[in-house]
Amino acid sequence: MKHFFSAYLRSALRTGLLLLGCGFTGLTSVRAEGSKNLTPGTASPAAPVTGPNDRVGFLQHNDGANSNLFLKENSAATERLYIHMKPSETLYFGVRRVRSNGNDNRRLRLQLKYLDNTGAIQIAKTSYLNQLAASTQGQVNLAANQVGLINTPAEAAVGPRYQAGATGPSGGYNPLTYDAPSNSPERDYWVEFMEVDGTNVAFPANNQLKSWYDVWDFTVRDATGEKPGRLFAQTWSFTGGAFDAQFSTSFGLYPLIPNPNAVGGYAANESFFVKRVSYSRMTPFGVILLANEFGSTQATGRTTFQQRRRSINANVGYAQYKQFVNDPDPSVYPSTVLPTRPTVTTTCDPITKITTFTLNVDQAGFGVVFIDGNRDDLYQASTDRILEGTTVIGNNTFTWDGKSDNGTMITSTLINISFSSGVGPVNFPLYDCESANFAGITVRSIRPGGLLAPDFVYWDDTNLATGFSSPAYNPNGTSDQANGHRWGVPGNQSGPPTGGDGVLVNTYAVGLLARGQAVDIVYDPANACAAVVPPVVLPVTLTKFEARTETGAVRLQWETATEVSSAYFEVERSLDGRQFGPVGRVDAQGSSSTTSAYALLDRTAPTNAPVLYYRLRQVDTDGTTAYSGVRTVKATGRPLITEAYPNPVVGTLFVRLAEPLTGAFTLRVLDNTGRLMWQQQQPGSSRPELEVPTAQLPEGRSYILQVQTSRGSFIQRFVK
């Protein structure tokens, strides 16, 4: 019964950093649906905003290749802003437009449309908003106090005044409205933004100007209340207003990923995975946000899913999946059924020197077999092999010739095999995104069953310039919410390798990876024969295991989803990754069907080894044992932080170090929920003391200072 994880899920759980969010505050009740979900700040933005904020990320159109025909008349179906409505529901909506860089816009026409039962386009409502001259970028250029104008971000935060005669709620905006007829079918409506002349005739396409909307709202209600999760687009276009302006720390979308094993429509058998992708603090001047199955379009040299998900020097992303600003309404978009854990068996042919892995799955998708040739729980092309392919329900075969990914013969006589079955691949291709350097692109699982659970992202930037990202290829994935897929330097427009200007950077994930066991098996390199993987009944489902350095110690944390007759866990440590010894023991829950969390602090970790290896030994009540994969951390050495004062702090926090930091390091301040409050990257310092500004932090709270160096991650708590 050796193991609990697949290789794809193991690597990110081994990180030595805290799994901390970057500004994501969770799911909250809302009284509006629109910009409030992405940029919830109630203060008008002063562009550009180059630090953490809650205000930047403007909806836009007419920005060339960075918006295409998004929001425009005669746009493709994939470039429309949709609102899903049922009969007798009411849409309340409004916008605020601000002057873009160089354009002062004309009268705005908002037109709500739908397809009738013959497929013909029909106009449901036409509304106009009068312009206002504005000379400064970011200044409002729609006349005040019109119906449909959101005067302030504070009004957007409250939402529409939906009470009779727009009398309340107090502080909200005076909305435009549309009532879906009681005899109409449940359908998607879309809204178009067009500039018109004095007679309300739309200017031609080549005379439409770039427009920015800093606040906007499209809220659906019925007699019982608001219906969040109805606003979506397959193509979104946003701007930060400047090359180095950061998107809000709460900026993220909810892609809706159909399970290909269940098809249909609103009233049929269609069901979905739901993710939340975070674009927190990325810095594109203008960008299109997409989600799709493969990453880039199919073309010469890009015909397999492995090739199409690679980043590329071309604008070849395509819109496919719906992306919402809230968790999609489950009454319209139901959660799918989870696949069960796959099984694998092996056979080998000593004549052809081929090992065949047979992966059995209960939902079609794609399969992964990870061959860890040196059993270090890390991916290296010279020692390991990743086998991937599409799967059907039932048995699927993957063949292996005994070589690593770079063609080297694997000579170990004991190797590790892990495997997974993936359903619902999802890619997030970003064209012309200059930088995602502060936190990178990260993903969380929402439905089914994974509310806000850190999810895994992968990338392959090997087509781009050397040094574009590190690592350039990440087939193992990461779920570290503080360090996802990162690239670029904010404010740098020179292109690769320091920025994403003019290239398509892709990040990929999966609706769900059904996790099989990972096992050490005997391997005969002379015949390329891997031993048969024995069938295993796992009494423990381990969903998390991580090790991270703290001041003078290593903290081990793990979680289980289910346990059956589990007696205890023993943490084991090694200096070489081969010979392990016990560090400590923690009693288990016994039998449980709910999440259980465990932790152990290793205060005896040696300081004279470059790397420490940890694993879990799980022991059942009958004495049967199983092992987790290995987690690695850099040795703690002596504590880096010797003192942080004053504590509580008023202005500047002074941090004394055991030694100067001669190499590059990152300072982060996080609140107790893991939200990133401040971050600064430095190339190095000759002084044994650091200064951390705290004026930007709210008072009366406790915080975590994290110093990330090449030695590891060191933390210090303080209060303001």
Q: For residue 148, is pLDDT > 90?
A: yes
What are the CA-CA distances from residue 694 to residues 147, 669, 705 (Å)?
A: 42, 9, 11
Q: For residue 311, is pLDDT > 80?
A: yes
Query: Which pLDDT band, with edges at 50, 70 and 90, does 129 fall under?
Result: very high
CATH code at position 547: 2.60.40.2060
Query: Which pLDDT band, with edges at 50, 70 and 90, does 102 fall under?
Result: confident
If one compares 53 and 622, the residue with the highest pLDDT of the two is 53
Question: Does 236 lie in the same domain as 92?
Answer: yes
What is the tens place of the pLDDT at every residue in 438-456? 889 999 989 887 667 788 8
The token duo for 17 is: 């950093």
Q: Percentage of the chain surpassing pLDDT 70?
A: 87
Least confident of 130-144, 232-246, 497-511, 513-527: 513-527
Q: Which residues of 548-583 are buried (b: 16+ CB within 10 A; e: fewer)?
A: bbbeeebbbbbbbbbbbebbebbbbbbbebeebeeb
If one compares 320 and 603, the residue with the highest pLDDT of the two is 320
Question: Does 133 lie in the same domain as 194?
Answer: yes
pLDDT at 324: 98
Q: Return the closest-CA partner of residue 445 out of 454, 434, 437.
A: 454
Question: Does 549 lie in the same domain as 694?
Answer: no
Question: Does 666 lie in the same domain as 630?
Answer: no
Q: Maximum Cα–Cα distance for the chain, whole Å?
A: 84
Question: Does 591 lie in the same domain as 711?
Answer: no
In a domain, 169, yes or no: yes
Question: Does 172 lie in the same domain as 98?
Answer: yes
Question: Does 674 lie in the same domain as 651?
Answer: yes
Question: Does 650 lie in the same domain as 555?
Answer: no
CB-based contact 155:171 (threshold 8 Å): yes
Query: Which pLDDT band, with edges at 50, 70 and 90, does 84 fall under?
Result: very high
Under 8 Å CB-to-CB from 605, ≥6 apart: which residues?
553, 554, 573, 612, 635, 636
In a domain, 78, yes or no: yes
By three-state DSSP, how is residue 79 classified? helix
By three-state DSSP, how is residue 711 classified? coil
In a domain, 583, yes or no: yes
Q: For residue 685, is pLDDT > 80?
A: no
Question: Does 176 lie in the same domain as 112?
Answer: yes
**Cα gap 463→160, rounded to integer Å:** 47
Query: Which pLDDT band, with edges at 50, 70 and 90, does 513 fall under?
Result: confident
Question: Does 89 lie in the same domain as 176?
Answer: yes
What is the tens place of the pLDDT at every residue in 390-408? 999 899 999 999 999 999 9
CATH code at position 704: 2.60.40.3080
In a domain, 258, yes or no: no
In a domain, 195, yes or no: yes
pLDDT at 578: 61
pLDDT at 5: 27
Which residues constitute the domain of residue 177?
35-43+71-243
Least confident of 105-119, 131-145, 294-308, 614-628: 614-628
In a domain, 365, yes or no: no
The token duo for 672 is: 């107790």
**In total, how many domains does the chain have?**
3
pLDDT at 494: 44
In terms of pTM, does the model score above 0.75?
no
Query: Which pLDDT band, with edges at 50, 70 and 90, does 713 fall under?
Result: low
Question: Does 650 lie in the same domain as 629?
Answer: no
Domain-terminating residue out of 608, 634, 660: 634
pLDDT at 563: 83
Beta-sheet strands, E only, within 410-454: 414-431, 442-447, 453-454
The token duo for 409 is: 């013969």
The token duo for 37 is: 């979900």
CA 549 to chain centre: 25
In a domain, 570, yes or no: yes
Residues across the chain: 720
Encoded amino acid at 146, one letter? Q
Domain-terminating residue out of 634, 660, 678: 634
In a domain, 471, yes or no: no
Q: Return the closest-CA partner of residue 558 out of 570, 575, 573, 574.
A: 570
Domain-terminating residue out of 209, 243, 277: 243
**Cα gap 371→352, rounded to integer Å:** 19
The token duo for 518 is: 């990972």
Q: Please state the rounded mean pLDDT for residues 1-11.
A: 29
Q: Percentage of the chain surpassing pLDDT 90?
A: 45
Q: For residue 300, is pLDDT > 90?
A: no
Q: For residue 618, is pLDDT > 60?
A: yes
Q: Please state the rounded mean pLDDT for residues 224-248.
A: 93
Question: Taking all residues of the chain, what is their mean pLDDT, rounded to a whole number?
Answer: 84
Question: Does 84 lie in the same domain as 231?
Answer: yes
